[in-house]
Amino acid sequence: MLWSDPRDEPSPETRQVQERLRRAGPILATLLLVAAVALMLF
Tens-place pLDDT, residues 7-27: 788 889 999 999 999 999 999
**pTM beyond 0.85:** no
The Cα 13–Cα 35 span in angstroms is 32
What is the reported pLDDT for 27? 96
- Rounded to whole angstroms, the Cα distance separating 4 from 30 reads 45
Cα–Cα distance between 42 and 18 in angstroms, integer? Answer: 36
Report the distance separating Cα 19 and Cα 21, nearest Å. Answer: 5
| The pLDDT of residue 9 | 84
Mean pLDDT taken over the chain: 89
